[in-house]
Amino acid sequence: MPTLSGRVLIGNAEVALDAVVELHNSAGDIVDQVQVDSGGLYRFHLSEGSWSLRSWDPHGHRAEGRALVGPDEPVSLDLRLEPISIT
């Protein structure tokens, strides 16, 4: 079963220790949600298809990403949290 995994960072370097990663299918439905581990890592075991990720932390940082998962290859996608801009 293919995996989609990566790290959640704040900006380009700092590991987001208290981030959550939410997994959405191609219809936009929430499929799963995980808390990152002590290294800022997340992992989902998925079927092939198009997936989107949303991540956040309690400090107001947010990130989004998209991945196309094939039948055999693991996919790595790091998410970089940025502060939300309120206009």
Establish if 15 belongs to a structural domain: yes
What is the residue-level pLDDT of the chain in tens, covering all 87 positions? Answer: 899 999 999 987 899 999 999 999 999 999 999 999 999 999 999 999 999 999 999 999 999 999 999 988 899 999 999 987 766
Query: 2-39: buried (b, 16+ CB within 10 Å) or exposed (e) per residue?
Result: bebbbbbbbeeeeebeebbbbbbeeeeeeeeeeebeee
Instruction: Supply the range of the domain harboring residue 61.
Output: 3-80
Establish if 33 belongs to a structural domain: yes
Give the domain CATH number at 33.
2.60.40.1120
Which pTM does this prediction carry? 0.91
What's the pLDDT score for residue 63?
A: 96
Establish if 87 belongs to a structural domain: no
